[in-house]
Structure 1
């Protein structure tokens, strides 16, 4: 055995061993309990970053731990490979998205293998593989048959210069991110998935996902946004049309004095009078450039414009001016809000700005509100006033009474509303799954027959960045024969939103080579649901909600029997680092900084805030460089030890060095004692130092087991092993008790195996074991070894520590009191004083009150 630990040699040896022996390959085995561990799969950008290192190290600890416990562990990896970045790279670098993507996959796969992650690589796939997305197309056809996939006209961001649709994230300050042209709103036909059909079930199941973080469940509940209220129709003056409103506050209907519409509302321009047209069009153009999330925030300036038209309050018969307001979104409710300024703060501020009328309809107990003296809206409970026949009712009672009255009169109805809107899945770009639809002038919208799947994404396309999707210009793809009538037809040129691919990949991992459909029911029923899912909280209301929806759809299509995809969810924190900047060259990479100065100009650099690692701020650490210098085990250990998984991790070079030194200490502990532990070993000793070391060893086994299993307290688990290593180094009776020493060292190696698998495997082999450490199993603790013979008791005098005494573990209170009072140090602080009271905390503390 080499005296010094050489991570490069050790890690390459064991990575080759795992690959050659397919150590992590699994298949269904009904005789063994399964455990499915999955991290959110990465986009193949070209290189892994420290966030990947942390995320996948967390998952690998759990996967290896469960495998050592005897579980049949599925731990797969693949690639979320479609999307705009590949298309942008094709435009910028004159390459093809497929070439760029697969080259990146090759590079990132190599990097992940260097980390020693326990993946079953035989299950690997990329979502841009035809053998993956062909089955996605089949699921779409099944959804289309059931009315769960449909097409309708919807507003999109349109760049007139590039002649293409832009995603919201491609609009910067109202302009195209690529050419800076002002973005327009445009109505286009778009494909949607009817996720609203599952709104209530998605909401109900949040009460059963006990293994999910409460903040994620709260975000999903808020996103689904169930509310009970009334739909009310407001007649438009001089028109047969009506504005439909949803409100949860029918009790305030008598106080509605104006109407607020979303600028995107389909009736907006119909209501505009000629004299107001120019002002309204300018306002709509301005709002289109505003971020939708910001528009609804409390601190965003509330603005509006009068359309020139009024509607009628159906109960008071009073005219209500109709305004377009920037804080109303078409995505919420009906896109129209009855404004009650005395009982809604946002409406109150808007009414004050535009001098609109106020009418109090709820009076709080013991107060008399007046529109002339109100400084803010009253949103609390009270009794109705100025509300006709409903005067005097408590407002909660009035909600029900007014709702019933509206239904009888035929001007409203009680209803349940959801904030959730159907999922728009059309994307006007090339690098995505083709939507399997054909348009025929005779037959209309025709689904591609199942026998003709897959609709393959063509490779002979030209990327210019202009003029919309390249598919629309590719005649060999576009032109097709109608499968129903045989006439000339054209293909759909939109592709799927990439969230579609990531909404069912976890199910395909269970059967990646299944040739007869998207899912092999037998395999899926064994492996699903995923027992532990790991990923960022930023996916709480997009990916995670879509995956839940897709699982329910696949269930209802008869493809599997699972209700929810993920039993437990861990949302890991970010990896952060301080930022550095140069007054001349801006942000600096760590390698551009030496002794606090910019290497380019020698100017003194300025340290900034600690922020999430990002290329834009240049506060990144290259995992390859870290692994080359310290080894993968050190990189893994630091990312697991520096902070609990759910918290942000702050990069610390000294922390990395400390982890590196610790692994050297573990290596040296085995090296220094290897000869001593050769030959036959007696049963571990049970006296003196040996008994103490055994107790520490078994206490550590118990703590590490409990810290990993479901709690994910990896940092405290590692700290406990570090304490055990310290105890081993302090063990002076090693030559008299080599069996105790071996037991403790083997425990260290086995406990570290999930965290630092390369060095653990190597040391296990050096200790003379022929079998793979993974097969050796997880250590168990001996309860008898945990029993302490003696207890160290802290003794206080008047609340201050004055001594420590050792007593038998089972000593009663009288014996503990006697030992405490008999301690020479304690006695010294009691001289000249009388003992008034002695408080004994069993097994921990004695406090003597004296005066």
Structure 2
């Protein structure tokens, strides 16, 4: 064993040995309890950042710990490899997206291996390779055949200069990121997954996920957005057509003074055609369509609207109500039409005040009359219905039910449950994605690609045109094909799938990644699923997690998997900050993991990032903290080096001195603390702190004469085993150095002894009226009466109570005695 801790030599040595021995290769073993540990797989951007290091270090501790606890652990890694950055790199640098992506993967794989993460690399998946996207396409077809994939017209971001559709992330401040042209909304045929069919189950089964953070479940609840209300049918005065309006406040329908349509609502164009309102309304609609959904619905955005020259009839009071368009109403939420009740809705109140629209009070507080001229805000609380025809005088809660009954009985509306969740638009009019396996035939219509013809290969030799349009539209050998049903000429779908589709099932492919006959074998997927611990950033709390849950439920219904939920437990780690800000190139505060590993080693990088903060909280980067972690590992090295030769041949000692007992109690207390912190709470920082205290205790013991080397070996073995999941290389090296043959990572986790935790003696504090006056060492098993007797015999106690009356004695056995006197 070298005297100096040479981390680079050690880490290279053990990474090679682990790879040669296939240390982390795992197979199904019905005789062992499985544990599936998974971190969200990365987009291959080129280099790991500290957020990656944190995510994967957390997962590796869990995987290694569970392995040592006797579980059969699956811990895989792969690449979320399709997506827009590869196309941007191709356009900017002339690098084919496939080459850019695969080069990045090779680099990031090398970086991950340099961290010593315990991945089963034999299970690696890459979503942009045909052996993966073949099954993404096959799964799309299962959704299609089961009625969950469909095509319809939808409004998309359209760049008139590039003549192409843009994904939301390609729109920056309302303009095309490529050419800065103002983006318009355009109706195009798009592919959707019918996730709304699962809205209620996705909501209800959040209750089956006690291992998820409450904040994430709340975010999903809000995104799904279930509400109960009524759909009310307003009749267009000109044409007699019905405009359905969804509301949760049907008790206020008598207070409707205007109706608002989304600018994209098909009725708008119909009602303004040939009227004096046509041009100004079209101009207004166009300006609204240049706004993002977020801006349109933001409470800070000024509400703007325009009368379109038409009216509807309120079905309950037959009043004539003007129709407006406004920027705050969206076509794909509710019915795309909103009834304006300014007296009882803050947004409607502000809109009515701005445009001088009527305001009618229809709910009043119990025993109080509202005066319109005194109102500065809408009244939104419960109360009594007024000015509401036959419903006047009812509590509005009762009115909700009665009005809904009235609407249904007269065919003027119906009760309805609504969800904020919209169907998932999966079409992307770009190249670097999984081709949608649909063929279009003039005779047969849309025809799914037969299973035997999968995958539909994505051409790799493509040319990106200045227009930004997908190259797939201009590759004849891809575009033109024959219809599988009639054999006639046909064309392929040139849209590719949203990359969220790839990441909605990758955790299933990991269970059977080499299968060429199926996406995954049911027996294997049912052995491993569901994921016992999922780890990733909170930024994926809604879409990725919701889509993965939807996929799992749908595939369960198709009979492909048994699990109904993909992820049993979820840990969302915090960000890595520097100088109070998230690390980013633009801020110049990026710390390279490779530089840290080169300077201090992977074990130091891992240890610091696990010690600096609890995993769910943001972590502030500290150069001093990194150096402190490095110094600690050097202390561990020197400690083992000091004892190495002595520990090769030792004889057990049965008789333990008081100092021996103290050290043994520290060892077993540390085992207990670290076990509970890792297993129950993921408090890695406090677990590492306890290990550091054990090292301090061993250094103190090292200075004593007549050391019990048998106990020292027990302590060092425990120290290395406890530290192994956090710092896998140095512990492997030291484990070998003290005479062990097998890998430390194949050892059983240490078990603490309750007996060893019991102290022979304890220090008790003497307090007089709550102030500390002295301390006393007494036998640990001393009962209350004997303890009080011993304390009262102390000189300081006698002096303090002389001539005074003892009011009471408060005793906490093993801790303190407080004598209250007056």
Task: Indicate conservation of the 8 Å contact 2:238/2:310, yes or no.
Answer: no
Q: Offset at 1:825?
A: 5.0
User: Is residue 802 from structure 1 mapped to residue 803 from structure 2 by the alignment?
Assistant: no
Distance between the aligned counterparts of 1:713 and 1:465, measured in 2? 52
Q: Which residue of 2 aligns with 1:17?
A: 17
SS of 2:208 mapped into structure 1: coil
Give per-residue Cα distances to partners, 1:281-314, cap 9 Å, x unaligned.
3332332233322332323222222222221211
Q: Offset at 1:828?
A: 5.8
TM alignment of 1:769-788, pairs within 5 A: 769-788=740-759
Q: Offset at 1:420?
A: 0.8
Q: Which residue of 2 aligns with 1:130?
A: 130
Q: Which residue of 1 aligns with 2:462?
A: 461
Give per-residue Cα distances to partners, 1:185-209, cap 9 Å, x unaligned.
1111000001111111111111111
Give per-residue Cα distances to partners, 1:344-393, cap 9 Å, x unaligned.
11111111111111111111112111222212111111111111111111
Q: Which residue of 1 aligns with 2:56?
A: 56
Give per-residue Cα distances to partners, 1:417-472, cap 9 Å, x unaligned.
11111100000000000001111111111111111111000112101342511000
Distance between the aligned counterparts of 2:226 and 2:614, measured in 1? 34
Q: Which residue of 1 aligns with 2:673?
A: 703
Q: Which residue of 1 aligns with 2:231?
A: 231
Give per-residue Cα distances to partners, 1:466-493, cap 9 Å, x unaligned.
2511000111100111112222111100
Q: 1:828 to 1:286 in 2, by over 3 A?
A: farther
Distance between the aligned counterparts of 1:572 and 1:684, measured in 2? 46
Q: Offset at 1:733?
A: 4.0
Task: Indicate conservation of the 8 Å contact 1:536/1:572, yes or no.
Answer: yes
Task: Indicate conservation of the 8 Å contact 2:666/2:694, yes or no.
Answer: yes
Q: Offset at 1:803?
A: 2.4
Q: Offset at 1:226?
A: 1.2
Distance between the aligned counterparts of 1:487 and 1:776, measured in 2? 64
Task: Indicate conservation of the 8 Å contact 1:78/1:124, yes or no.
Answer: yes
Bigger CA drift: 42-51 or 483-492? Answer: 483-492
Q: Which residue of 1 aligns with 2:216?
A: 216
User: Is residue 846 from structure 1 mapped to residue 817 from structure 2 by the alignment?
Assistant: yes
Q: 1:807 to 1:157 in 2, by over 3 A?
A: same
Give per-residue Cα distances to partners, 1:258-277, cap 9 Å, x unaligned.
11222222223323373333
Q: Which residue of 2 aligns with 1:182?
A: 182
Distance between the aligned counterparts of 1:685 and 1:456, measured in 2? 74
TM alignment of 1:243-322, pairs within 5 A: 243-272=243-272, 274-322=275-323
Distance between the aligned counterparts of 1:91 and 1:825, measured in 2? 84
Q: 1:415 to 1:734 in 2, by over 3 A?
A: farther
Give per-residue Cα distances to partners, 1:796-831, cap 9 Å, x unaligned.
333333322222212222333334344455556556
Distance between the aligned counterparts of 2:212 and 2:222, measured in 1? 16
Q: Offset at 1:787?
A: 0.9
Q: Which residue of 1 aligns with 2:438?
A: 437
Distance between the aligned counterparts of 2:791 and 2:261, measured in 1? 78
Distance between the aligned counterparts of 2:66 and 2:264, measured in 1? 53
Distance between the aligned counterparts of 1:23 and 1:155, measured in 2? 52
User: Is residue 836 from structure 1 mapped to residue 807 from structure 2 by the alignment?
Assistant: yes
Q: 2:710 aligns with which of 736, 739, 749?
A: 739
SS of 1:700 mapped into structure 2: helix
Bigger CA drift: 526-535 or 161-170? Answer: 161-170
Q: Offset at 1:63?
A: 0.1
CA RMSD of superposed structures (Å) = 1.5
Q: 1:683 to 1:257 in 2, by over 3 A?
A: farther
SS of 2:158 mapped into structure 1: strand
Question: TM-score, normalised on structure 1?
Answer: 0.94
SS of 1:616 mapped into structure 2: helix
Q: Offset at 1:331?
A: 2.7
Task: Indicate conservation of the 8 Å contact 1:97/1:431, yes or no.
Answer: yes
Q: 1:269 to 1:706 in 2, by over 3 A?
A: same
Give per-residue Cα distances to partners, 1:684-734, cap 9 Å, x unaligned.
653300001101100110110111013101001000111111111111446
Q: Which residue of 2 aligns with 1:634?
A: 604
Task: Indicate conservation of the 8 Å contact 1:251/1:395, yes or no.
Answer: yes
Distance between the aligned counterparts of 1:473 and 1:624, measured in 2? 42
Q: Offset at 1:256?
A: 1.3
Question: TM-score, normalised on structure 2?
Answer: 0.98
Distance between the aligned counterparts of 1:421 and 1:543, measured in 2? 15
Distance between the aligned counterparts of 1:234 and 1:17, measured in 2? 74
User: Is residue 650 from structure 1 mapped to residue 651 from structure 2 by the alignment?
Assistant: no
SS of 2:586 mapped into structure 1: coil
TM alignment of 1:642-791, pairs within 5 A: 642-683=612-653, 685-731=655-701, 732-733=703-704, 735-791=706-762
Bigger CA drift: 293-302 or 395-404? Answer: 293-302
Give per-residue Cα distances to partners, 1:720-764, cap 9 Å, x unaligned.
111111111111446431111111111110000000000111111
Q: Offset at 1:833?
A: 5.1
TM alignment of 1:586-601, pairs within 5 A: none
Distance between the aligned counterparts of 2:423 and 2:628, measured in 1? 51
Q: 1:253 to 1:172 in 2, by over 3 A?
A: same
Task: Indicate conservation of the 8 Å contact 1:86/1:431, yes or no.
Answer: yes
Q: 1:685 to 1:257 in 2, by over 3 A?
A: farther
Q: Which residue of 1 aligns with 2:89?
A: 89
Bigger CA drift: 565-574 or 730-739? Answer: 730-739
Q: Offset at 1:504?
A: 0.2
User: Is residue 3 from structure 1 mapped to residue 3 from structure 2 by the alignment?
Assistant: yes
Distance between the aligned counterparts of 1:467 and 1:761, measured in 2? 52
Task: Indicate conservation of the 8 Å contact 1:174/1:288, yes or no.
Answer: no
Task: Indicate conservation of the 8 Å contact 2:650/2:709, yes or no.
Answer: no
SS of 2:569 mapped into structure 1: strand
Q: Which residue of 1 aligns with 2:495?
A: 494
Q: Which residue of 1 aligns with 2:35?
A: 35
Q: Which residue of 2 aligns with 1:582?
A: none
Q: Which residue of 1 aligns with 2:341?
A: 340
Bigger CA drift: 17-26 or 365-374? Answer: 365-374
In structure 1, list runs of 5 or more residues that go unmatched: 579-609
Distance between the aligned counterparts of 2:325 and 2:315, measured in 1? 20
In structure 2, list runs of 5 or more residues that go unmatched: none
Distance between the aligned counterparts of 1:175 and 1:729, measured in 2? 64
